[in-house]
Amino acid sequence: MAFLGKVVLITGASSGIGAATAIHLSHLGASLSLTGRNLKNLEKIADQCHKERKPFLITGELTNEDDTKNILESTIKHFGKLDILINNAGTIERGSIENTSLDQYDRVFNLNVRSMYQLTMLAVPHLIKTKGNVVNVSSVNGLRSFPGVLAYCMSKSAVDQFTRCTAIELGSKQVRVNAVNPGVVITNLHERSGMSPEELSAFFERSKTTHALGRPGQADEVAKTIAFLASDDASNITGATLPVDGGRHALCPR
Ligand SMILES: *[C@@H]1O[C@H](CO)[C@@H](O)[C@H](O)[C@H]1NC(C)=O
Ligand SMILES: *[C@@H]1O[C@H](CO)[C@@H](O)[C@H](O)[C@H]1NC(C)=O
Ligand SMILES: *[C@@H]1O[C@H](CO)[C@@H](O)[C@H](O)[C@H]1NC(C)=O
């Protein structure tokens, strides 16, 4: 019950890593504010949370500044405080320097970087009051370079740098900021990037060689690492970008 009495706001909570994190933290005692674009999908996740702690659900489009403001304000209005912000919402699109577009760059950066920037900015005064913390969901693509997902890789490097910069800016106020950097995780993120079912199964199959542990990851493995960084067990960790990627970040072609 490490999170009993803690208010946790999770973005992108209706699927994948966000949903797994919501369910895990709920069973560790957290009071949750969950955001996503679709209420029905959020309700499905809320149903899997602890029965005595029904999450507060709020829909919105994080790339819409007013929606983002509303997400933070309603959370504070509902719970009266915020202890932990989990910036999880994100998107991936395929495109190399030869076939990307400025529209693609804007879509990816607006969600993966700009909306997080805004939400964190709004959350920080509340986190200072509670000596709370932030966990950002980045990617191995922030730490290493991959072809064919240019805007995504750049956006995740920005998340990593933002994590370190804000960690040192907020350190004296006892607010910690960390990120997790998952490798390939079995979620619907990849499907949404436009991969066909055949491409998708080839991609997951190839993960057996691109990850040292010989397999892609599971969302709940990332959720448990997020829970660790968000908990008092990580009281002396800030500015960290922690790979949860079966060793992928350490692998080089040979
Ligand atoms: C984009 O260009 C890269 C090479 O730079 C290529 O590998 C990839 O297949 C192209 N994608 C599309 C959708 O044309
Ligand atoms: C997490 O990363 C986002 C995007 O780069 C940034 O806006 C946010 O401030 C970071 N978290 C914290 C607490 O800095
Ligand atoms: C955190 O780590 C630093 C560096 O090792 C150490 O000086 C400090 O005492 C630690 N703080 C706590 C609360 O353990």
> Other C-beta atoms within 10 Å of 117: how many?
17
101 lines ligand 1 (CB under 6 A): no
Active site annotation includes 152: yes
137 lines ligand 2 (CB under 6 A): no
Name the helix (H) or strand (E) containing 34: strand 31-36
**Could you tell me the strand order of the sheet in which 84-87 lies?**
56-59, 31-36, 7-10, 84-87, 133-137, 176-182, 241-244
The count of C-alpha atoms lying within 13 angstroms of the C-alpha of 212, restricted to the half-sphere facing its C-beta, is: 11
With contact defined as beta carbons under 8 Å apart, do 109 and 153 qualify?
no
What does the pLDDT read at residue 176? 98
What does the pLDDT read at residue 42? 97
148 lines ligand 1 (CB under 6 A): yes
What does the pLDDT read at residue 19? 97
How many helices and strands in the chain, by DSSP H and E?
10, 7
Ligand with smallest separation from the Cα of 90: 2
What does the pLDDT read at residue 28? 97
**Sign of the alpha-carbon torsion through 111, 159, 211, 10:** negative
Please pick, among 22, 152, 160, 230, the residue that the annotation labels catalytic. Answer: 152
141 lines ligand 2 (CB under 6 A): no
194 lines ligand 1 (CB under 6 A): no
**Sign of the alpha-carbon torsion through 71, 74, 78, 79:** positive
Over the chain (254 residues), the average pLDDT of each successive run of 10 is 96 96 97 97 96 96 97 98 96 96 98 96 98 93 94 96 96 97 89 86 92 95 97 97 95 85
User: Helix, strand or coil for residue 193?
Assistant: coil
Which ligand 2 atom sits closest to the C-alpha of 121?
9
Mutation test residue for ligand 1: of 92, 97, 98, 193, the one with most atoms within 8 Å of CB: 98
Which ligand 2 atom sits closest to the C-alpha of 124?
13
Determine the Cα–Cα distance for residues 29 and 20; give it in Å rounded to an integer: 15
Determine the Cα–Cα distance for residues 111 and 53; give it in Å rounded to an integer: 29
Mutation test residue for ligand 1: of 93, 94, 99, 104, the one with most atoms within 8 Å of CB: 99
Determine the Cα–Cα distance for residues 221 and 224; give it in Å rounded to an integer: 5
Query: Which residues are CB-neighbours of 87 under 8 A, at least 6 positions away?
Result: 11, 116, 119, 120, 134, 135, 136, 137, 159
Strand 84-87 to strand 7-10: parallel, antiparallel, or no bridges (unpaired)?
A: parallel
What does the pLDDT read at residue 193? 78
Mutation test residue for ligand 1: of 93, 94, 96, 145, the one with most atoms within 8 Å of CB: 96
What does the pLDDT read at residue 233? 97
What does the pLDDT read at residue 131? 97
96 lines ligand 1 (CB under 6 A): yes
Ligand with smallest separation from the Cα of 161: 2
Determine the Cα–Cα distance for residues 132 and 76; give it in Å rounded to an integer: 14
